Amino acid sequence: MNYPSGIKKDKTTITRRKIDYKNRGMNLENDINETNNYYIEKNIAFIYKKPTPIKLVKVDYKKGRIDEAYFEMPSTTDYNGIYNGKYIDFEAKETTNQKGFPITNIHKHQIQHIRNIYNSKGICFLIVRFTKYNETYLLLAKDFLEYIDNVGKSIIPREYFINKGFRIKDKYIKKVDYLEILNKMEDEK
């Protein structure tokens, strides 16, 4: 279940005393949103987080107020948009797991979506933050799918991200500057 940032923050507050790294990790979504806002302000890219899908049950139409609703499972990834005329699509997740990234963090529908976008020649990837190490990696859909199709469906070891992924270093303004990684890949082609 992919809750909006408000809820994540709450969880964070509760666990703050326990591990500061976890708290930092919980901010991945905010870091990416800040980065996207920077890209938008500078006319670099137009990539947005999709709102969390909601199932409406009770709505006061006059007041435009929702009195009862439930979070729904997202069928696509959280972020998509355009950069240099190219379609960009990614999912962002943080994990407190020290061994690796539990694949259960990505829903079945989202994996199919990642496959579809990859097959459609979109630029598709995961951004995963290992909160215990405060390391953030970009893993291309190609390498993500290669792992789950050929190796295993339970957990992707941190080593796989170190070897196949691209480390995204913390920055002051562009907190999660993933476009820099994509540019480097483009240059190396």
Residues that bind a second copy (CB under 8 A): 1, 3-4, 6-7, 10, 40, 43, 45-46, 48, 50-54, 56, 59, 61, 64-71, 75-76, 80-87, 89, 113, 116-117, 119-122
CB-nearer residue toward a second copy: 53 or 102: 53
Quote the least distance from Cβ 96 to a second copy, whole Å: 19
What are the distances in angstroms from CA 80 to CA 2, 49, 61, 120, 134? Answer: 16, 7, 30, 14, 24
- DSSP string over 34-69: HHHHHHHHTTSEEEEEPPPPEEEEEEETTTTEEEEE
Quote the least distance from Cβ 44 to a second copy, whole Å: 9
Quote the least distance from Cβ 131 to a second copy, whole Å: 20
Spatial separation of the C-alpha atoms in residues 54 and 124, rounded to whole Å: 25
Tokens of 19: 């591990």
Q: Across-strand partners of 94?
A: 129
Quote the least distance from Cβ 99 to a second copy, whole Å: 28
